[in-house]
Homo-oligomer: A and B are copies of this chain.
């Protein structure tokens, strides 16, 4: 597969295989045109009965980004469960897990390093709060991440907004019937895109019934 790079690509499979979590960004602003292209790509995803139950709040204002970042960082410092999760993680014996959690901790401490934060919200569709309801929003989120990768922009999918939802609601002036579903920092990467670590596909695919694996 493709080598590590910070460049964009229009190859579908290259984008899919190298869209890894990026947690360091250059400070360069992101041109409007690239944001529009990534966001429009997001909206091309399927949703139940094509309801498109989404709004996308793009946060570039430095004061707002700083306020979101400070709220998350304060939460991290005070929440015992979240702190111990990260503390165990950064001591993990699994190097890849350790690196991932170290990066997650850093970004939780300093979100505002990213020049753009994107907060997708479910809005105007069903109010269901169950797993299946995610089928009408996260495909669009994934389109956003892939399109950003294609445009040479780095992102990381987080649900940190859930940790500081009252603050996010207030800062972004979300109405009661909008539900923020992710908090996605975005910018030109100061790290490489590249292959991701995943279980072999043969182990997670079953043929005709549960547990029935085959070799490729």
Contacts and interface: CB of A to CB of B under 8 A. Distances in A.
Contact of A40 (B11, B57, B140, B201): B201
Interface residues of A, number: 86
A205 B12 contact: no
Interface string A143-155: 1011100100000
A181 interface: yes
Nearest to A178: B210
Interface stretch (A71-79, A107-115, A125-133): A125-133
Contacts of A11: 10-12
Contacts of A173: 209-211
A19 to B, nearest CB: 7
Contact of A43 (B40, B97, B204, B210): B204
A173 B12 CA distance: 34
B142 A52 contact: no
Interface in A180-216: 181-182, 196-199, 201, 204-211, 216
Contacts of A36: 201, 205, 216
A138 interface: yes
